[in-house]
């Protein structure tokens, strides 16, 4: 559960994720997540939909969603890439948007697009079990199972790497045929659980 102390300021949160609050709160549905008309159209087109409400007031507001673990990410001007389904709450000052992820999305079954969060402030992302934060640097690229990936920050290039060979086709697959390889400088958030993915059983 996430507790947010508000004193007149606002946060953006996933629609319906409030479980309790004390003090005075106002909840306002934000069409298009506050991204304006262009953002709305982009989200509709990309299928990366996200229903967001704006919470403003004085007091403490508690957010939770399906008992999943909540991880706080501090942003200082960098960009956080996260699946919209994993994004719980952001400071109102953070800008959200949509971006193309390339082939990775296809394998995770999450679509080809993902959500970006940009600016300075905190964002709360959800994971099944506490996320492990792994640093990627030039010498140490990281390979991640698409089903366990939840988010990343920093300047990272994603490569889709596939170990599919004739063995996969005859049912002798390794079960780890698809991975995302991250190169560059940044952080990757990984959850200790795997979503069902298209490539998961191969």
Partner 1 sequence: MNYGPAPSYGPGPGGGPGPGFGGPGGPGGPTVLDPYALPSDDNVNPYTFCVELKGSQWFLQKGKMIAYYGQIDFNGIGHGRFDRLLRTSFHSPLHASDWVVAEGSGKMLLADRAFDVNSYDLDEGNLTIRSGNLLAYQPSLALKQSIVPGFLTLIGTGKFVAASNGPVVFMEPPLRVDPQALVGWADCPSPCHHYDHGYMQGVMGGLRQLTGIGGASGEEHQFEFVGAGTVLLQSTELLMAEQPVGQVQAAAGVPGHGQGPLGQQLGVPRMPGQLGDLQRRFGL
* Size, binding site for partner 1 by CB under 8 A: 45
Residue 72 CB burial class (10 angstroms; 0-12, 13-18, ≥19): exposed
| Residue 74 interacting with partner 1 (CB under 8 A) | yes
Output the smallest distance, CB 195 to partner 1, in A. 10
Say if CB 87 and CB 53 are below 8 A apart: no
Output the smallest distance, CB 154 to partner 1, in A. 11
**Using CA atoms, how far apart are residues 107 and 31, in angstroms rounded to an integer?**
29
Residue in the structure block whose two tokens are 């309790």: 20
| Residue 193 interacting with partner 1 (CB under 8 A) | yes
| Residue 26 interacting with partner 1 (CB under 8 A) | no
Identify which range of 11-19, 44-52, 66-74, 99-107 contacts partner 1 by CB under 8 A: 66-74
Q: Report residue 60 CA to chain centroid gap.
A: 24
| Residue 19 interacting with partner 1 (CB under 8 A) | no
Residue in the structure block whose two tokens are 């007149």: 8
| Residue 128 interacting with partner 1 (CB under 8 A) | yes
User: Is 29 or 76 the residue whose CB approaches partner 1 more closely?
Assistant: 76
Output the smallest distance, CB 67 to partner 1, in A. 10
User: Is 2 or 50 the residue whose CB approaches partner 1 more closely?
Assistant: 2
Report helix, strand or coil for 87: strand
**Using CA atoms, how far apart are residues 110 and 1, in angstroms rounded to an integer?**
25
| Residue 59 interacting with partner 1 (CB under 8 A) | no
User: 154 to 183, contacts with partner 1 by CB under 8 A?
Assistant: 163, 167, 171-176
Identify which range of 16-24, 68-76, 78-86, 110-118 contacts partner 1 by CB under 8 A: 68-76
Say if CB 59 and CB 100 are below 8 A apart: no
What track of x and - describes contact with partner 1 for positions 87 through 116 (by CB under 8 A)? ------------------------------
Q: Write the DSSP symbol of residue 33.
A: G
Closest Cα to residue 65, out of 136, 22, 13, 117?
A: 13
DSSP bridge pairs for 151: 82, 189
Determine the number of helices (DSSP H) and then strands (DSSP E) in the chain. 3, 11
Positions that interact with partner 1 (CB under 8 A) = 2-5, 60, 69-74, 128-135, 137, 140-145, 147-148, 163, 167, 171-176, 187-188, 190-194, 200-201
């Amino acid at each position: 559960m996430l507790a947010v102390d508000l004193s007149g300021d606002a946060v953006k949160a996933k629609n319906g994720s409030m479980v309790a609050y004390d003090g005075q709160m106002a909840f306002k549905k934000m069409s298009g997540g506050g991204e304006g008309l262009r953002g709305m159209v982009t989200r509709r087109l990309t299928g990366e939909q996200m229903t967001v409400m704006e919470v403003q007031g004085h007091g403490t507001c508690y957010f939770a969603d399906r008992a999943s673990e909540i991880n706080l990410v501090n942003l200082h001007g960098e960009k956080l890439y996260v699946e919209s389904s994993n994004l719980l709450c952001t400071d109102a000052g953070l800008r959200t948007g949509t971006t193309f992820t390339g082939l990775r999305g296809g394998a995770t079954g999450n679509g080809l697009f993902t959500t970006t969060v940009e600016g300075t402030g905190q964002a709360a992302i959800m994971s099944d079990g506490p996320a492990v934060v792994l640093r990627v640097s030039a010498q140490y690229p990281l390979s991640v199972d698409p089903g366990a990936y939840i988010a990343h920050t920093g300047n990272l290039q994603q490569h889709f790497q596939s170990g599919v060979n004739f063995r996969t086709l005859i049912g002798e697959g390794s079960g780890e045929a698809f991975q995302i390889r991250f190169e560059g400088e940044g952080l990757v958030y990984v959850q200790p659980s795997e979503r069902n993915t298209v490539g998961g059983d191969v």
